[in-house]
Amino acid sequence: MNNVTIAGIGAYVPSLVVTNEKISEFVDTNNDWIVERTGITERRISEGENTSDISIEAAKIALERAGVKAEDLDLIIVATISPDMFIPSVACIMQSKLNAGKAACFDISVACSGFLYGLEIANSMMKSMNYKNALVVGAEVLSKVMDWSDRGTCILFGDGGGAAVLKNEPSDSKGIIKSYLRSDGAKGEALTIGAADFNTPFTKEPQLKDRIIKMNGREVFKFATNAIVESVNEILKDTGVSLDEIKYIVPHQANYRIIKSAANKLGIDEERWYLNLDRFGNTSAGSVPIVLNEMYEKNLINKGDKFILVAFGGGLTYAATLVEW
C-alpha cells in the first residue's frame, strides 16, 4: 500500500551568530533576562540571504538524502511569512533555481504552524493527485520585518529554514499518519505583520501599515500552552496511539517556558521534547524542520520511530502531526 513518508530532511541557517550580549548593545535587555524568560542564548541572522536562498540550500540537502532529483518533484510548498516578494512565490523561485520544471508551486501563510500545514496539504495532494515526490519547506528571514528597537520581540526570533522531501510509494513506514490543524482568527491581533499600504487615488482614508512584527507576548504565551496541550491530546485520541509509542515530541521552538508548561500539563517528561531554541531562537515556520534535521544528524531518528510534531503561531494557528519515520 502507498504511504506518504518523509524520505529526506535538510536545513540551512545563515552563518552570522547574534548573541544575547550583542542584542543588549542596542536594546535595554540582558543575557540573564533572555535566558531565564525564553531559554534563548543566540540566534542566526541573515546578512543578505533571502528566504528563497535559505530554502534552496535546505532543499538541496533534503533532495540528496532522499535520492530524489529536483526535476522529479511534482509539488513544492513553502511555508513562510517572510517571502522574498509577493510574487513570484518562494516556491516558484525555488522551482526556477532548482530546475524542478514539472512541479506545482505555491507558498502558504500559516506563520509558525506553516510547516505542519504544508506537510498535510502535500500529503493530501499527493494522494488525490497521485503525485510521487513533493518538497515541503518552512523558512523565514524574519529579521527583515523585525522592530530592532522592540525588546519584546527582537530577542526572540531568528532566521533559517528546513525542507522535507516526501515520497508517495509502497512503504513499511506509515509516514504521515494524522494531522490536527486548527486556527483562532479572533485572536489574530495578538501577533501581526502589516503588508502593503492602502493608499490609492480612490481610498477615502489611507491606511499605512507597520511592516514589522507586533506581538502581545503574554496573550500568545497563554494561547500557545493550551494549543500544544489540545493538539497533542487530540492526535493521541484520534489515532489511539499511546504516549509510550512516541519517541519524541518535536515542538515549535518559541520559548522554553511554554514547552515546560505544556509538558507539565500533559505529564510528558521534558527529556522527550527535543529543544534547540537556545541556539536558533524562534525561526517561525523554519523551527520544526530545523529540529528534525538536527535530530536526523544526531542519529536520533530511526526507521519506525514515531514523533508528534506540534506548532502554534500567528493567525493565530496551531497544529500537530503524528509521523512515523
Chain residues that interact with ligand UT7, rule: CB under 6 A: 29, 33-34, 37-38, 112, 151-152, 155, 191, 215, 217-218, 220-221, 224, 254-255, 282, 313
Q: Which CB sits closer to ligand UT7, 88 or 217?
A: 217
Q: Radius of gyration (Cα) for the chain, nearest Å? A: 19
Q: Which of 50, 252, 255, 293 is catalytic?
A: 252
CB of 240 to ligand UT7, least distance (A): 30
Cα distance between residue 324 and residue 34, in whole Å: 35
CB of 293 to ligand UT7, least distance (A): 19
Cα distance between residue 129 and residue 292, in whole Å: 27
Cα distance between residue 285 and residue 136, in whole Å: 11
CB of 121 to ligand UT7, least distance (A): 20
Q: Is residue 282 flagged as an active site residue?
A: yes
Q: Which of 133, 255, 282, 293 is catalytic?
A: 282
CB within 8 Å of 312: residues ≥ 6 apart: 112, 113, 223, 224, 227, 228, 231, 252, 254, 318, 319
| Full 3-state SS string of 216-248 | CHHHHHHHHHHHHHHHHHHHHHHHCCCHHHEEE
Q: Which CB sits closer to ligand UT7, 34 or 139?
A: 34
Q: Which CB sits closer to ligand UT7, 179 or 282?
A: 282
Q: Is residue 302 flagged as an active site residue?
A: no
CB atoms within 10 A of CB 314: 23
CB of 90 to ligand UT7, least distance (A): 19
Q: Which CB sits closer to ligand UT7, 7 or 308?
A: 308
Q: Which CB sits closer to ligand UT7, 254 or 322?
A: 254
Q: Which of 92, 105, 112, 154 is catalytic?
A: 112
CB of 135 to ligand UT7, least distance (A): 23
- The DSSP code for 81 is S
Q: Which of 313, 221, 306, 236 is nearest to 267 (CA)?
A: 236
Active site residues: 112, 252, 282
